[in-house]
Chains A and B, each alone.
Chain A
């Protein structure tokens, strides 16, 4: 018996696809689910599995050809092995044969995880029609701005549950405010900082989970250069492991690409002599902690830098703005909310301290200790992850002489703090020992120029170097 296989429906709005590779030859025996074609749509590269087992009688298409949905691609001789293991559905309607790869960009495999029925043991996804979810779940998704197609479904038949939407929303929010790929820790640079436990080496698989069967191409985020990239055959040179790019890591990847492709980055480097401030910090540390009754509340360099930023942002509002590309407007924010990058087991998260210009050093120290602890425990409230206008990242606890942080899109700038350490300095013509804090600010060059960035960082440096000036200014 001969059966024709037609190009299946590849998803909403996709009517044609270009054939990237033909994976089988005429006369070849094909197993069910074996990949027979790789095709590219305007949304993704998709692998098409065979719905049948049998011999390939005729291949009707060739590499490079653009085919329409419903076009006959392969003729099978399925009687030649005397059996068909094709699922009833595929045999009845080959034109809608299941496609293994998720089509929409960023879809991390909303497959039916718990088949409702033995006959439903399909690793495939129904590509047509809306995502199964109750009206209440759909409403929640709308409220949180979640596209149901992006959510991993845990219900039967790919049904998205309320819990799935909430988990997704929490994940995407965390990564949306993810600032810097280079920053891996957020602790303060002084020994008295809030330190996170050193990252224990974990297996990549444990960290990201899943098998490469869940992987889907990362597309729709490359700007002008969107399209498949050629990679060497890594396995040729030794053992490799392939893991799907999933959930938070995937979101981070997409957001970083967005930040990098939309914002022309420039980084300005400077350093602050914080000798005096450091000695004051050591002197008043205990008093500070005693006042709050919590020894995690400390007058760290991070606290002072946040306060210095509030002052600098008022002087140079271009660094407290966003460029709205849709309207061609600069959005100047008249509120000063500083995001502080916090390393967690799940990835980098940026809780926000709001209205820092209206808060005292002490208030900020208390809030910083609170959000750091809550974020690490995974208990940070969603509203405390939103509304940042400028981000501060600090890799001081780990080390490094400086960095080039990436702007937290759609903000205008990010300030990175490296480790404050003792260095020889020249003071009154003499070599002396001072504490030097390296600073690096990356900014959106569309919104500000290098001189402005230099003035901005200079202002921060001046305040950090002269505690008395700080008191006058802040």
Chain B
């Protein structure tokens, strides 16, 4: 121990100030546990608030306004080309973040959660050293700890010549892309997952010429193809090009911009742009925090292993959010935060949720929860589907956007709702009904009988369920006729 090191003892130390971390701290405090929130970032909120969900959605809102003003021409209203003040946009976005961050600080204060700004490193299973910038290190002894250190973008160092290129401001990751330093004329997005497509949408709307390079044979790997198709069509209009089945061999930073060499079908060997955004995934922040000094175990991908109560292999330490596994989404972290805090308070809580909704905030939005067709086929799970095309939705027509589909996956023998996928405007808002249905163990009839307000897009869920039921009715009728005729 360093002489003069300050020692503080707490019941619970929460490491990481993202949505998982601050929620866990607030819930624990509410349940009467003396809690300290340790965050390496100067302001709480984590990736979600500062480098992810919130800033990207603010900028996507800007993109939507731009697109709406353009597509308004179709219904007889024209505004002329949009004039974009990038500084004002950035200021507005930063204001949103600051306000929310102050909100978290305020909530912690009123709940009695102390926030310590510094980087935590485990000394053993009962304590961490916290290096506070500009101050002497502190030693925090805890009874329990909740790990919520999150994740960071994957870098591709092997594709670069040198360190300098990797750190060049012409190479963006999701964090720097959201800082919105400028609007590059030409932008290459490496990776056609949700982060690449959302940020590609923002930059395309703000005037960049966007090219997407994706290694697999489709955008949004893992999502059902029929949900991706309407989005791919729309992105085809917004982006300059989408190269699928294309592998990036190297990336070199030149004086004028960035040059990448690729291999793929019908793709030039070299692509150039002013900037390149690398969005090929995220990795958990389980390294460099001294977990070796504890009993915590991590898997081959760096995720911390934990059980249904979020407890790691070290009984004093819990893990929630991105560090604990896929899907790396804020709302999963928030639910786990509740579970971990409640388990610590002796409540019979468990992370036994049946589904985690996924939402891609592109135009149109894609959202799904529960079983997907892709997963069902891979795991050989028997299912039936019911689809409702938005071209038949009155509400979709009145917003002049019928480019959407609602799909329900159900168990053939019981009609239990297994999964729902939606593509179309506001799909992310519509998916919540499906999440509740799956959590409650709803059957098709539940979705069909419940009255949905008219005219809304939520009716498409209702309609899909009703169409499946009438199909089953016809089938049953046919079967019984067959039986009669054969006897």
Binding site for B on A (CB under 8 A): 9, 70, 82-83, 85, 87-89, 92-93, 95-96, 98, 112, 115-120, 122, 124, 126, 128-130, 132-135, 138-139, 142-143, 155-160
Contact = CB atoms under 8 A, between A and B. Distances in A.
B473 A126 contact: no
B445 A117 contact: yes
B384 A89 contact: yes
B432 interface: no
Given A118-B473, A119-B476, A143-B348, A92 B382 contact: yes
Contact of A93 (B382, B418, B483): B382
B440 A134 contact: yes
Contacts of A143: 348
Contacts of B350: 138, 142
A143 B349 CA distance: 8
Contact of A156 (B352, B412, B445, B483): B445
Contacts of B352: 130, 135, 138, 142
A122 B479 CA distance: 14
Contact of B441 (A120, A124, A155): A155
B415 interface: yes
A156 B354 contact: no
Interface residues of B, number: 32
A118 B382 contact: no
Interface in B443-487: 443-445, 469, 472-473, 475-476, 479, 482-483, 486
B313 to A, nearest CB: 19
Interface majority SS (helix, strand, loop, mixed), chain A = loop
Contacts of B472: 117-120
Nearest to A112: B414
A118 B476 CA distance: 7
B357 to A, nearest CB: 15
- Central interface residue in B412, B418, B439, B440, by most chain A CB within 10 Å: B412
Given A135-B440, A157-B441, 6 more contacts: A82-B486, A92-B382, A112-B413, A120-B414, A126-B411, A132-B441
Contacts of A70: 380
Contact of B413 (A126, A138, A159): A126
19 contacts: A82-B486, A83-B486, A88-B412, A88-B475, A115-B414, A119-B473, A120-B443, A122-B413, A124-B413, A126-B413, A128-B381, A129-B381, A135-B352, A135-B440, A138-B352, A156-B443, A157-B411, A159-B441, A160-B441
B444 A117 contact: yes
A135 B476 contact: no
A116 B443 CA distance: 7
Contact of A89 (B354, B413, B445): B413
B334 interface: no
Contacts of A112: 413-414
Contacts of B328: none
Nearest to B474: A119
A96 B377 CA distance: 11
Given A89-B382, A157-B414, A119 B475 contact: yes
B415 A117 contact: yes
Contacts of A124: 413
Interface string B180-205: 00000000000000000000000000
B486 A135 contact: no
Nearest to A86: B479
B411 A85 contact: no
Nearest to B352: A138
Contacts of B440: 134-135
B96 interface: no
Interface string B395-434: 0000000000000000111111010000000000000000
Given A119-B476, A143-B348, A9 B384 contact: no
Contacts of B486: 82-83
Given A130-B354, A142-B350, A155-B441, A122 B380 contact: no
A425 B212 CA distance: 103
A116 B382 contact: no
Q: Which 6 A-B pairs have the closest CB atoms?
A: A132-B441, A89-B412, A157-B414, A96-B382, A119-B472, A122-B413
Contacts of B473: 117-119
A157 B416 contact: yes
Contacts of B441: 132-134, 155, 157, 159-160
A116 B413 contact: no
A322 to B, nearest CB: 24
- Central interface residue in B352, B354, B413, B444, by most chain A CB within 10 Å: B413
B381 to A, nearest CB: 6
Contacts of A126: 411, 413-414, 416
A136 to B, nearest CB: 9
Nearest to B376: A93
A336 to B, nearest CB: 27
B348 A83 contact: no
Contacts of B445: 116-117, 156
A100 to B, nearest CB: 12
- Central interface residue in A88, A120, A130, A133, by most chain B CB within 10 Å: A120
- Central interface residue in B415, B445, B475, by most chain A CB within 10 Å: B415
A382 to B, nearest CB: 15
